[in-house]
A and B are shown apart, each in its own frame.
Chain A
Amino acid sequence: MMLSHYLAVSGILFTIGLFGVLTRRNIIGILMSIELMLNAANINFAAFNRFLYPGQHLGQVTVIFIITLAAAEVVVGLALVMAIYKNLKTVYVEKYNILKG
């Protein structure tokens, strides 16, 4: 197993996530795609740490930190989604235009 394999997986994952963010209409789907992109980054961190600096753990610690941050972020995001849904009765992002003047 080579570093490039990990990076390829991570790249594919990031692209899938980006594609999801750009194309999904459903806000829940977009949040899930963001998680995919975050995890692609996590794979990069773990892979670079494992292959470039084998004796150290800074990258893996950062991964753990990011997972925690992502959990918190999802909590806030979903809470916002719930609040918006209660007001607008929809999960499609193109309807979220009440701030438009």
Chain B
Amino acid sequence: MLEYVFILPLLSFAVAGVIFAVGKWLPIKGASAGIAVAAWGFIQAAMLFVKAVRGSIALPYEASIPWFSVGAHQLSLGVYVDGLTLAMLLVVTTVSLLVQIYSTGYMHGDPRFKRYYAYLSIFTGSMLCVTLTSSMLVFFMGWELVGVCSYLLIGFWFEKQSAAYAGKKAFITTKLGDLGFLLGLLTLFYAAGTFEISAIMEKAQNGLIPVALAGLAGILMFLGAAGKSAQFPLFIWLPDAMEGPSPVSALIHAATMVAAGVYMVARLYSVYTLSPIAMDVVAWTGAITAFMAASLALTCFDLKRVLAFSTVSQLGYMMLALGAGGFTAGMFHLTTHAYFKALLFLAAGSVIHAVHTNDMREMGALRHKMPITYVTFLLGTLALCGIPPFAGFFSKDEVLVAALSRSPFLFALGAMAAAMTAFYMARALVMTFHGKPKDAHKHDHAHENPLVMTIPLMFLGIVSVISGWALTRHEIFEHLVNFEGALPFELHHVSHSTVALVSSLVAVFSMVFGLWLYKSRPDIPALLREKFSPIVNMLEKRYWLDAFFLKIVAWADSLSVVLFSVDFNFLDQIAIDGWGWLTIKLGKIQGWIDTYIVDAAVDAFGTITLYSGRAARLAQTGIIQNYLLFVAVAVSIFAAIAFAG
């Protein structure tokens, strides 16, 4: 079964081609083919996961075929499967399947329905490439391909100016990080001499990679992860990426692609653990991101943007966990987060599909109109806030334990982010589903969505409730996804359960406070907004990060103008055109020499030959007596000379 796992990404790519080519004639305009393949992938992944949990397959499994060789370096195409891979595989295939089912309802009647499904299949294939590959080179290729798919799907409704702009922004911002990723990858290749993941891990564990190079490679590659996984300061693209269809946000910008950066750090964890500096960079960036993004979500009125900031914040958590040495904690949070955040996005999509707006100020009181969406959104919220016994509680708890083991400041940032998370989710819940309808017209038209959209919601709702508990039972996840030689973290002063108690108390208190504030005293938030307008302004401007990057762009723009003028005035006008001018002049001199010296010499030979020929011809009269006369004269002369001598 593991032997055939390589088929999964290939099948996804193939089905994308099929949908493009003949999707028109397939049931549901090609969606059926995409869903069938995704379902098959899900079944495979689930079976593999269960088998791995039972221990009936040997891990890690590696198989590859040679691809090409450069010098002495052999590059190969292959799969590398261990517990980490299987966890990610399960996440990708599950969310992909559910999103594709959900999209048949959400995208119903869209003029580019077929293309949408083809993109989704390409995305799934690329993501599976990233997940399964045994070579960092293929990893990078898949990494870029998911970036392309993200660009295509964010700008899917490209008639809207803002969507086209958001796609561009996402692509360019992540490319900024990918530059670092590529440099890091090359540094790693230089240090380890191979792109093979297993070989890199082995070399790193045997201490064959210099610490300084490992740190450099780790930090550079983390730049790529910061772009893709929306870490500070490159997270600015993710809120705007919400211009894409909601299921796309659920699949790409909540569960899978944005987790690719986290997955990369986990994949190369043996390299990261070599360098404490790289680990610190990862941990602190994660903590700062978690805190900042959570604060940004507080003032946001766009439902999907609240969720986007929340995603950024949770990705920060994962990085924080990995950087603090909690390998299992980070990946566990990735897994649970993928499910409940996909659920939240799909539920938000369901709401948006019903009321045709993203703005929470125009929603309200939807809980009776859309009971299934409401309940599932509530479950997702509880899971995200870390209320026991929902999924987020287990994973967030692990993350905070890892953070505390490293530094109390990391823990403090994480705990504050957790408090804010509970608060803004309570706010979003109340504004969307409770209170009074703010827009009567939209409220009247709202209705529960069809079953194709609510069944994925229900499924994810159940997963969000039980996954945390189920995966920690008998330490299933920890046995499957662990890292030998991970920094052992021990708590000196407080016990594990104290952390759990504190984090859940903080979450519960914060959530109840949020619910009370927005439900019973909606006048207070408005008052606070006025009172603390500078802070609100700062948050609404997103800590001026957008402005900062625009400044950089503007600066680069003016630099390019200067460079252009240097290029045009100096290089083009003087250097290049100067060469031309010089060449013309030299050519003219050469032409003169050629005409008047070389050619003249050649002509002179001709002329001399001509005239000497004419002169010689005079002697050739054709009269034999003349020749005899010459003979006679010559003989006479020679005779005279002979006699004179």
Interface residues of A (CB under 8 A from B): 18, 21-23, 93-94, 97, 100
Question: Across the A-B interface, how many residue pairs have beta carbons closer than 8 Å?
Answer: 14
Given A18-B632, A22-B632, answer yes or no on A100-B625 (Cβ-Cβ < 8 Å): no
B623 touches A22 (CB 8 A): no
Q: With a CB–CB cut-off of 8 A, which chain B residues contact A18?
A: 632
A93 touches B625 (CB 8 A): yes
8 inter-chain pairs at a CB distance below 8 angstroms, sorted by A residue, are A21-B628, A22-B625, A22-B629, A93-B623, A93-B624, A94-B623, A97-B622, A100-B622
Complex CA gap A23/B629 in Å reads 9
Number of B residues, CB within 8 Å of A: 7
Output the least CB separation between A87 and chain B (Å).
18
Complex CA gap A94/B626 in Å reads 11
Shortest 3 CB-CB contacts between residues of A and residues of B: A22-B629, A22-B625, A22-B628
Q: With a CB–CB cut-off of 8 A, which chain B residues contact A93?
A: 623-625
A21 touches B622 (CB 8 A): no
Complex CA gap A55/B315 in Å reads 144
Complex CA gap A21/B623 in Å reads 12
Complex CA gap A93/B629 in Å reads 15
Output the least CB separation between A40 and chain B (Å).
14
Output the least CB separation between A75 and chain B (Å).
22
Name the residue on A nearest B625 (C-beta): A22
Output the least CB separation between A77 and chain B (Å).
14
Output the least CB separation between B410 and chain A (Å).
113
Complex CA gap A18/B632 in Å reads 8
Q: With a CB–CB cut-off of 8 A, which chain A residues contact B623?
A: 93-94
Output the least CB separation between B7 and chain A (Å).
90
Q: With a CB–CB cut-off of 8 A, which chain A residues contact B622?
A: 97, 100
| Chain B 624-638 interface residues, beta-carbon cutoff 8 Å to A | 624-625, 628-629, 632
Complex CA gap A100/B623 in Å reads 11
Q: With a CB–CB cut-off of 8 A, which chain B residues contact A21?
A: 625, 628
Q: With a CB–CB cut-off of 8 A, which chain A residues contact B629?
A: 22
Complex CA gap A97/B622 in Å reads 8
Q: With a CB–CB cut-off of 8 A, which chain A residues contact B632?
A: 18, 22
Output the least CB separation between A47 and chain B (Å).
19
Name the residue on B nearest A100 (C-beta): B622
Name the residue on A nearest B623 (C-beta): A94
Complex CA gap A100/B622 in Å reads 8
Complex CA gap A81/B632 in Å reads 24
Name the residue on B nearest A19 (C-beta): B632
Contact with A along B610-645 (1 / 0, CB 8 A): 000000000000111100110010000000000000
Q: With a CB–CB cut-off of 8 A, which chain B residues contact A23?
A: 625
Name the residue on A nearest B624 (C-beta): A93
Q: With a CB–CB cut-off of 8 A, which chain B residues contact A100?
A: 622
Complex CA gap A46/B623 in Å reads 35
Name the residue on A nearest B632 (C-beta): A18
Output the least CB separation between B525 and chain A (Å).
122
Output the least CB separation between A92 and chain B (Å).
11
Contact with A along B592-622 (1 / 0, CB 8 A): 0000000000000000000000000000001
* Residue picked from B624, B628, B629, most chain A C-beta under 10 Å: B624
Output the least CB separation between A72 and chain B (Å).
22
Output the least CB separation between B619 and chain A (Å).
15
Output the least CB separation between B218 and chain A (Å).
96
Q: With a CB–CB cut-off of 8 A, which chain B residues contact A94?
A: 623
Name the residue on A nearest B635 (C-beta): A18
Output the least CB separation between A33 and chain B (Å).
11
* Residue picked from B622, B623, B625, B628, most chain A C-beta under 10 Å: B625
Complex CA gap A93/B623 in Å reads 8
Interface contacts beyond A22-B632, A97-B622, A100-B622: sample of 5 additional A-B pairs, CB < 8 Å, sorted by A? A21-B625, A21-B628, A22-B628, A22-B629, A23-B625
Q: With a CB–CB cut-off of 8 A, which chain A residues contact B628?
A: 21-22
Name the residue on B nearest A23 (C-beta): B625
Output the least CB separation between B643 and chain A (Å).
13
Name the residue on B nearest A30 (C-beta): B625
Name the residue on A nearest B626 (C-beta): A22
Name the residue on A nearest B629 (C-beta): A22
Contact with A along B451-490 (1 / 0, CB 8 A): 0000000000000000000000000000000000000000
Complex CA gap A101/B622 in Å reads 11
Complex CA gap A97/B625 in Å reads 13
Output the least CB separation between B635 and chain A (Å).
10
Output the least CB separation between A44 and chain B (Å).
15
Complex CA gap A93/B626 in Å reads 12
Q: With a CB–CB cut-off of 8 A, which chain A residues contact B624?
A: 93
Q: With a CB–CB cut-off of 8 A, which chain B residues contact A97?
A: 622
Output the least CB separation between B637 and chain A (Å).
15
Contact with A along B337-376 (1 / 0, CB 8 A): 0000000000000000000000000000000000000000
Q: With a CB–CB cut-off of 8 A, which chain A residues contact B625?
A: 21-23, 93
Name the residue on B nearest A25 (C-beta): B625
Output the least CB separation between B284 and chain A (Å).
106
Contact with A along B210-243 (1 / 0, CB 8 A): 0000000000000000000000000000000000
Name the residue on B nearest A18 (C-beta): B632
Output the least CB separation between B632 and chain A (Å).
6
Output the least CB separation between A97 and chain B (Å).
7
Q: With a CB–CB cut-off of 8 A, which chain B residues contact A22?
A: 625, 628-629, 632
Complex CA gap A6/B594 in Å reads 70
Complex CA gap A18/B628 in Å reads 9
Output the least CB separation between B467 and chain A (Å).
113
Complex CA gap A35/B232 in Å reads 128
